[in-house]
Amino acid sequence: MLGVLGGFAIIATVLVGLLAELQAVNPEGYVERGEDQRTREYALSGYRGSIVDRDGFVLALSTPGFEVVADPTLVENVSATAELLAGPLGMNVDELRVALAGESAGDRYAMLAPEIEGTAIGALDALFANDENDDALTGIYVIRHEDRIYPNGSLARPVVGGVDPDEQGTFGIEWQYNDAMQGSSGQVRVERGIFGSITGGIHEVDPAVQGDDIVLTIDHRIQYVVEQSLIEHCQDTLAQGAQAVVSDPRTGEILAMGTVVRNENGTCSVPNYNAPLIDTFEPGSVLKIITAAAAVEELGMTSETLIEVPKSIEVGDVTFTEHGAGHVAAPYPVRQIISQSMNVGTIRLATQLGRDTLYDYLMSFGLSQPTGLDFRGEARGRVSAPEDWYGSDLGSIPIGQGVTVNSVQLNSAYNIIANGGLYVAPTLVRTSVAPDGTETVLAQQPSRRVVSDATSSEVTDMLVDVVEHSTGTGSAAAVPGYTVAGKTGTAWKVFRETEGAPLTYGVPGNRRYVVSFAGFLPAENPQLSITVVVDEPITETTAGLVAAPVFADIAQYSLRILGIPPGAAGERDPSQDQRVRGTPADDPLNTLASPIAVDDPAVIPEEE
């Protein structure tokens, strides 16, 4: 009897101790544990904003997706659950048994199906709706997530960019505007009992926030034309790659930016990097317009000013010769020096300007400086400061060797001439659009004057001769019914003969080339600016035969798409000067790279 009473006393003591623990020592802990047992939290996806072109054409968007996961510690009957889920998930029962068992005794997470869709979703809904399946589906969760979709495949992919599995931008616009587009996830918290939701219980919603949409300046129609034309010409010329930039010179808006490269299998296709901003190259004669513009602006020359052009000229320790065995030493008008791409003639202009003045104009035209697009991996190119020029640099730099640029910089430089002498900063993004429809226009930076309107008109006349004159180097860029102003560029490319060998321009018979054509139209009222660059073409190696035809192809389609009439519709409207936008140049002396060291310092590009 005393033993029984002693037992009850012990039990009573334990109960009192538990009550003390429950009510006095750690009441909050038990309350929290109880809430955890009867409340459930469900994530709400805040979908990433879309990327669209200037007309709302979708280039990237996020769509809802679903995955099925399990908490193996909650699965009561592995075999029954596996047999129930095998059909809807399209999986083997044995595979499911292994997954549902977990990797270890305390494993709380097992991925059963990372992506389900269509009929599988419907079948799972039906299973969860059947109360008889409650026990078998304990510990099974269908989780909603988002999938990033690029509806048009590789179209504009180098510009648009991509995301990682966590929907974080890795390159392109996806990376640049990641914070604005990703939005934020939300959460639903509900109170549940053994028979489901509790009437009057907790039901809290922290709504998800949709990310902003990004509206590009790109026109998807022109982008498609650019990529297809580049692919075709890359294939035909056996080139290593090609790129192009199409813009509206009046506003700096980029209408298309295309890149193609030759793959290991020998075909040309669109890669995942944006060459017009990331790659740099020595532009060659396409850069001669800067020397011509400086000569007109600083020395009072016109397109008809005569310059004595000998067969050769010595600059430093290098003799530069005029290309073409038939060149006759004589006075030539500046327009002919540019239209026939005379190297010696251009160097004569540069020596009259002097290296400091020439350098200042290279900077004013936007070389060796950021474009203002803030694109990940953007390369600034290189123009050495005058004090770092070698003896022959005053000969090579005016004709586009010994300096490097990217295609957007080159396109912007030509836009200065098209815009009556105003530099207009390129733009790639028009606006961001919040979920409520509120648009935010990106800050527009002021344009700046580089040369006078009169100077740009003189240079434009020279560029028209490049295409229209019978001896011009760019006749293949002609577009029927339109006046085209443009310039060819054929540059030697620096390369290594073998791994570890010094950089070299090669020797006659063993050269590699980068060829380009940059220009605008209609010349009387410029509304379309196009820059084309082809890397290491083989079947032909001059810009007039390789890059100029690509310019013409892109121009003809773009003019039709945009409904641009021939130049006869009117001269350039000076009032457009008030609607341009540009980015002032940064300090030209900061972070300049050192000159390229090559075996052959003589920079004498061959005939274009």
> Could you tell me the two tokens for 220?
């998807």
- pTM confidence score: 0.79
Beta strands in 493-607, from DSSP E residues, in sequence order: 495-496, 503-504, 513-521, 528-535
Bridge partners of 514?
491, 535
Q: CA-to-CA distance for 542 and 522, rounded, in angstroms?
A: 24
Inter-CA distances, 381 with 278, 370, 372, 592, Å? 9, 9, 14, 9
Res 545 pLDDT > 90: yes
Check: CB of residue 411 under 8 Å from CB of residue 425.
Answer: no
The C-alpha torsion from 557 through 561 and 567 to 571, rounded to 10°, is: -140
Closest CA to 518 of 573, 477, 553: 477
Q: CA-to-CA distance for 411 and 252, rounded, in angstroms?
A: 9
Q: What is the DSSP string of 52-107?
A: E-TT--EEEEEEEEEEEEE-GGG-S-HHHHHHHHHHHHT--HHHHHHHHH-SSTT-
Check: CB of residue 184 under 8 Å from CB of residue 208.
Answer: yes
Q: CA-to-CA distance for 203 and 512, rounded, in angstroms?
A: 69
Superfamily of 41-74+111-130+140-216 according to CATH: Penicillin-binding protein 2a (Domain 2) (3.90.1310.10)
Output DSSP code: residue 565: P
Output DSSP code: residue 266: S
Q: How does pLDDT run across 221-268, given as a tens digit for each residue? A: 999 999 999 999 999 999 999 999 999 999 999 999 999 999 999 999
For residue 253, report the phi and psi dihedrals to the nearest 5 degrees: -65, 130
Q: CA-to-CA distance for 143 and 411, rounded, in angstroms?
A: 48
- Asked: is 220-429+445-571 a CATH 3.40.710.10 domain? The reply is yes
Give the model's confidence band at 317: pLDDT under 50 very low, under 70 low, under 90 confident, else very high.
confident
Sorted by where each begins, the domain ranges of the chain are: 41-74+111-130+140-216, 220-429+445-571
Q: How does pLDDT run across 369-424, given as a tens digit for each residue? A: 999 999 999 999 999 999 999 889 999 999 999 999 999 999 999 999 999 999 99
CA 349 to chain centre: 37
450-459, 465-474, 518-527: segment of lowest average pLDDT? 465-474
Phi-psi region of 569 (alpha: psi -120 to 50; beta: other; left: phi over 0): alpha
